[in-house]
Chains A and B, each alone.
Chain A
Amino acid sequence: GAVVSQHPSWVICKSGTSVKIECRSLDFQATTMFWYRQFPKQSLMLMATSNEGSKATYEQGVEKDKFLINHASLTLSTLTVTSAHPEDSSFYICSARWSGYYNEQFFGPGTRLTVL
């Protein structure tokens, strides 16, 4: 149990286009999902906290108009990178918090975004 999926696993896009990444909790309901960004050989940096049915809370320095987050249901959160540029190329990882299991966070496998 406690599986989190992400789709796509990798995506290549042209500069100026928008890319949507999905994060799903497959076998539990997650009122809270988190989005992280990981640069090569760097730590995971929390970008935003997504609560079902409400607006996401963004960390300082993260542009909310650039990284649109929607948490429409208890099993799905989406991250849309709008007007992507090469500097947005990164590894994006989501996690889902399961309140029924000690509030533990379960992580998705990540999405590799490359912007040309």
Chain B
Amino acid sequence: GDSVTQMEGPVTLSEEAFLTINCTYTATGYPSLFWYVQYPGEGLQLLLKATKADDKGSNKGFEATYRKETTSFHLEKGSVQVSDSAVYFCALSDPGGADGLTFGKGTHLIIQP
């Protein structure tokens, strides 16, 4: 079945550092790929998504590119802020979005001032 593997946390960085959170996937066909963020005490929020190969999703300074050749969707940000501290989940779904999402285990990101 489908699966998502992302780097385990916690990941601790200083403010303004460069961020990469790795995510790779296994799926049949051409899934849609997502990054969700969960701030303390809140529900999951969609951060960005990509629906086909070579698409780049971006939002709030975060970016991820759908790489089919490496089955990856790594999350990057050039300069993190303390407010970026949260848990980040990589996920995939079928192209039409009819099925539920398959999530990675989540990466807890801690940004220190």
> A residues near B, CB below 8 A?
4, 32, 34, 36, 41-46, 49, 59, 93, 95, 97, 102-105, 107-110
Contact with A along B10-26 (1 / 0, CB 8 A): 00000000000000000
Say whether B57 faces chain A, with CB atoms less than 8 Å apart: no
Q: Please determine whether B106 and A43 come into contact, CB atoms closer than 8 angstroms.
A: yes
How many A-B pairs have beta carbons closer than 8 Å: the answer is 50
- Choice from A34, A104, A109 contacting B100 with Cβ under 8 Å: A34
Q: Please determine whether A36 and B100 come into contact, CB atoms closer than 8 angstroms.
A: yes
Taking the nearest CB of chain B, how far is it from the CB of A37, in angstroms? Answer: 11
Category for how many chain B residues contact A? 20 to 34
Q: Please determine whether A43 and B96 come into contact, CB atoms closer than 8 angstroms.
A: no
Q: Please determine whether A46 and B102 come into contact, CB atoms closer than 8 angstroms.
A: yes
Residues of B within 8 A of A45 (CB): 103
**Bound state CA distance, A116 and B77, in angstroms?**
43
Chain A interface, DSSP helix/strand/loop, else mixed: strand
**Bound state CA distance, A105 and B99, in angstroms?**
10
Residues of B within 8 A of A43 (CB): 4, 89, 103-106
> Known: A43-B89, A44-B89, A102-B97. Contact between A107 and B102, CB under 8 A?
no
- Choice from A4, A32, A105 contacting B101 with Cβ under 8 Å: A105
Contact with A along B84-108 (1 / 0, CB 8 A): 0000010000001111111111100
A-B contacts, 17 of them at CB < 8 A, read A32-B98, A34-B100, A34-B101, A36-B100, A41-B105, A43-B103, A44-B89, A44-B103, A45-B103, A93-B44, A95-B44, A95-B101, A103-B98, A105-B101, A107-B45, A108-B43, A109-B43
